[in-house]
Structure 1
Amino acid sequence: MITPFDSARNLTDAPRVGGRQTPKDAATLILTRVRGGEAQVLMGRRAPGHVFMAAKWVFPGGRIDRSDFSAAAANDLPAPDTARLMREVPARRARALALAAVRETFEETGLLLAAPAPAASVAGSWREFRAVGALPDLAALSYVARAITPPGRTRRFDARFFMADARALLHPEPTAGSGELDEIAWLPLADTRSLDLPAITRFVLGEVGERLAHPNRPLPYVRMVRGRHVIEHQD
């Protein structure tokens, strides 16, 4: 079992490049499963040409989209997770963040965290998701971590990390997705520390290992204060 990583070693990432950017709301989905008694996690490697985190192994995810505020869903995010998010954002944005995690995962990996539903024709970013006959399964999500990209990076995000068990997927294996990730794989959790990882991804992988054993552990919130990384744990 991976244990939490030392914050000083693992939260030092790419150097500052200058400029001031306001963090954009983003959401990430960490899918887990067990094979042969071993925990696995779904990860993808970003294509080398990306400006942000090129060639790094990451979880699927991305920025919140306008359509996420009005997209239909099969059910609601669990009440405790909604309550945690609503300490940070209004209810409508909390729901949109959860939907963004599901949508981005579908776009990048082809995986549907969803319940079967009649195919529907909708405009915008949810068009392909709804066309295959599915509605997002928000009840399968757990809100597990928050992190804000440090100042001065080429991109800054206020990222919320969600977890879900792969048994909630409509099918278990990823496809090529949008091409943003040039390799997608289920990886043994114990082997992920050898990958080329962003610092926050390495930290969150440690959190995943702990959370699989202790699902109700406090939620970590990682940010930089006066040049130093701070990790607050919230119930």
Structure 2
Amino acid sequence: MSSAREATGTTEPPSVYARTEATTPTRYRERMRYDAETVHAILDEAFLAHVAFTAFGQPQILPLIFGRDGGRLYLHVSSGSHLAIAVRHAGDEGLPVSFAVTLADSLVLSRAAMHHSMDYRCVIAHGPLRRVTDPAETARGWATMIDHLVPGRYADSRPPSPKEAAQTGLFALDLSDVAAKVRSHGLAEDAADRELGHWAGVVPLRTAAGTPRPDAGVEGEPPAYLKEWLARRG
């Protein structure tokens, strides 16, 4: 890794990600999206990721918060977790992981049990996960991850202390072996089933933010950046 890349903590993503063996499914290839605009939009809307890996000879999976900076993802876990230990043991090459986020857009209720489904958008990425050690990239990674939750939040919070940074590792995954998958066509009924008397249709789903509950001792209105975010997410 070059020193410039370590200092900035960013990678410049392509406009279209390459199709690879890992990102080319055997079925429903028409649902795949490789353009960076779609991939990034899904990542930026999602809050929770799942990271799968192998540690101590066993498959593992963890739900984690994350943030995207260009073509790089940042996430953090306890330094004593199986994931952190496995990354350390992997060394400079990084630990092979699979990373996934999914946005559920609607329930698809078909006349036939077999055709029930869901409209969704998801992103799956594969690659080596590495620990971030460069101080400049560490600061940028934390800001990226916290501002992914609510833009502007990192500046309105205390940065990690040296003790906290030692207890919680920051990790990076470069977007290279990545693609999105989108199902958005709703019902796919067999012609013969349309004469059945069962109700069928699509139930839209959405994630909405509720009314903030301030902690004890916090007075006054929510800060402007939070109000702006709530207006978009409410």
Q: Please report the TM-score for the alignment, with normalisation by the length of structure 2.
A: 0.25
Q: Which has the larger radius of gyration?
A: 2
